Amino acid sequence: MKSGNTKVFPGSASAPVLPVGPTVLPVVLLVLLLGACVSSGPDQFGAPLDRKELVVQRVEQYLQQGEVGPAIDRLTYGLRRELLDRAWAGEALLGIMEEWHRDYHQALEGREYGRALQLHWNLGVLREDPLGIELEIPPELLEPPDLSRDDLLLRWAELEIEREEPVLALYLLLRRSTLADLDPERALRFLEIARTFNNDEAAGRILEDLEGSSWGDESMPLLAVPSRTPPQMLEGTVTVWVNRGMRISQGVGVPDRGIGSGFFIDPRGYLLTNYHVIYSEVDPTYNGFSRLYVKLAGRPNERIPARVVGYDRVFDLALLKVEVDAPYVFSLSDTRRLTPGERVLALGSPGGLDSTITAGIVSAEGRRFFQMGEAVQIDAPVNPGNSGGPLILPDGQVAGIVFAGIPQFEGVNFAIPSYWVRHFFPRLFQGGEVVHPWLGFAVHAGREGLRVVYVAPGSPAHRAGVREGDLLRSIQGRPVRTLSAAQDVILERRPGDILDTRWSAGSQREEISRVIALDSRPFSPIEEALKRQPIEALFPVLFGMKVEELSSPPWGPDFVITEVFPGTSADESSLSPNDPFSLRNWRVDTDLRAAFIQIVIRKRKAGFLEGGLQLGSFLETDSFL
């Protein structure tokens, strides 16, 4: 049967085929010629690789490229999935340990103590054989290094003193597990530094650990705790002033100024403030005019040029440098956690009024405002201009950095506790943006613990085989049942460090070990993920619900909800499992730093009546580890 130039074959009466005519014959001949050129011999690419060979190939590729962390992640994955021969994996790990052992001694010779500490840590983790493959470690690798972690920290601290970085030296000294092994000469030198920089916490620890030591008469002034008055401390505060030129408001040009507070933490002119006060100095997306100055306390008419040394967008902090000698130096409290009811003072420049003190108490701790760590809530009056000022205890130690308040509510203000800043404080001096470590997955904290709800593609967790639904039980032997507990452990480390993590799957009590190498955390994991995945893959993180795509007609629903996590926006919007919905629109607002979806849903709790709903979530969610 013919119909024009269309042929219909039996059994496919409605299926059109290519029209046969003069213009088609050359195409047919070309296809036949190409087919004749294909060899009928064996496959030139060889037999396809199985999963085991693929894992081995990937590990070897990582090692050849010098990417040891990803190689360890894939080794963990292969062993847990029983895709790798344990003897082969053991040889690979021993090769890594031998390379680290050589690098460790090279770092010591070059006085690269930060690198030496990292290698010291990583070798210690692998010596414990956390993957249980019964490593036959040679004696030279089995024995701990001659220098302990405390020895390395002391050497590093003394090196910073040589480099005239006494603040960093004191910080490194306090990382040691004990100071009791210091000889009197060293102890006296560090005690003098602690007193010079008003670090009563460091001085107290030195004196406590060396209790019973004999001190000469010349050192007696260092033993007494100095008294400080609020007027003295105000001399160490500044007004941070950012000139951003002019902006148009209702058709009229008006000055665009940013005002905040800051405080000296080093006598050479280093001071801390908030990142959001000085963002225009370092934000590559800002294209306008920006000039940074500070005004010293009691000198409101004198502007001193300043520059940004380092900054941290996650914790909203920036380190500035001005070419003046600090009249007073504050010291961050290193280990002190604030408790509700404690008296605190907020120093700063509200509205540009310098040398202002307000008093109050700690109202609450553990507020989740940042992607990592926690904030403390205070009732001390805070106004625009206070951002970046110190929150101090009655003894003068800095307990936090003021960063925000809620204008609609009186006495509801917030500060960044110094306890969290201690994790990355030295990296601010290295310049540029502080990069934090991460494992690469998001969790929901519930009664069962930290449950994985999302794994970022290409992350360490993804390479190591972490799956949605896994429960994180511990990191380096420390139980973690809350986000802050897990983030506290991770922030102590650096990208490139390896961690022994313990997991269970669902209701199973048996725990498994995964050795995962930390990588550099992107500032906004959500935005990075949206470059690779559709937004519905991120619904568990953004809105607290898991969904499945439906195979339905174009006019039917796109998805059905399979699970809703308690306390999330989906839960508060009365969504529930088995609710079908259609995704009508979604957008990311980079100005508001938020993501929004618009859906048409049939809620089971509403009798499956159809209705519209908009859900929103901040991009900087706090659920990633």
Catalytic residue list: 276, 316, 387
At residue 619, what are phi and psi to the nearest 5 degrees?
A: -70, -35
Paired strand residues for 262: 238
What Cα–Cα distance (Å) separates residue 348 from each residue in 263, 272, 361, 396, 497? 9, 12, 17, 14, 38
Query: Could you give the CA distance from residue 413 to residue 363 in angstroms, rounded to a whole number?
Result: 9
- What lies within 8 Å, CB to CB, of 321 at 6+ separation is 268, 269, 270, 271, 306, 307, 309
- What lies within 8 Å, CB to CB, of 115 at 6+ separation is 103, 107
Tokens of residue 168, six digits: 């960093």
Measured in residues, the chain has a length of 625
- What lies within 8 Å, CB to CB, of 216 at 6+ separation is none
At position 347, the amino acid (one-letter code) is L
Q: Are 98 and 136 in contact, with CB atoms under 8 Å apart?
A: no
Paired strand residues for 616: 596
What Cα–Cα distance (Å) separates residue 255 from each residue in 170, 243, 297, 301, 351? 42, 8, 23, 17, 15
Tokens of residue 28, six digits: 């047919």
Cα pseudo-dihedral 10, 13, 15, 19, rounded to 10: 80
Q: Are 318 and 238 in contact, with CB atoms under 8 Å apart?
A: no
- What lies within 8 Å, CB to CB, of 233 at 6+ separation is 328, 330, 347, 392, 396
Query: Could you give the CA distance from residue 606 to residue 600 in angstroms, rounded to a whole number?
Result: 13
Q: Which of 455, 481, 485, 483 is nearest to 469 (CA)?
A: 455
